[in-house]
Amino acid sequence: MITDIILEHPFTYFTWYAKIKGSVPKDLWRYFDPKQQDELEHPEQVTIGQVKEDAVTLNELSAAEKSIFSQLRAIYNQDLTQYHRMLSQEAKLRERIMTLVSDSKKSQL
């Protein structure tokens, strides 16, 4: 059984950090890595008006424009799923960090 490392002293930091890093999916770590500045912003919703100026409904779009709108919506939905996945992992990571830091060190977070 692998035991969790509680961050209490400087000499436990590297092992603790490795465990924390290993608890996050590799493709999302860059958003939590203190050495990087990557941020995942909430994706901008796709609207019909972005495909055709002044259009409000799908009926106002040509077949080609409807295809473009569908493709943009699919990309938006994928980006939104990734964004929510990142938020979920962020909440799990915060909870994990709070669990794996000694009470005496929590005030320094």
**Mind listing the pLDDT tens digit for each residue in 74-105?**
999 999 999 999 999 999 999 999 999 998 88
* pTM (predicted TM-score): 0.84
| Over residues 26-30, mean pLDDT | 96
Tokens for 75, please give them: 């990309």
The answer to whether residue 14 scores a pLDDT higher than 90 is yes
Given a contact cutoff of 8 angstroms between Cβ atoms, the answer to whether 56 and 49 are in contact is yes
What are the residue boundaries of the structural domains of the chain, listed by start? 10-106
Neighbours of 77 (CB within 10 A): 12
pLDDT digits 0-9 by tens, 39-80 = 999 999 999 999 999 999 999 999 999 999 999 999 999 999
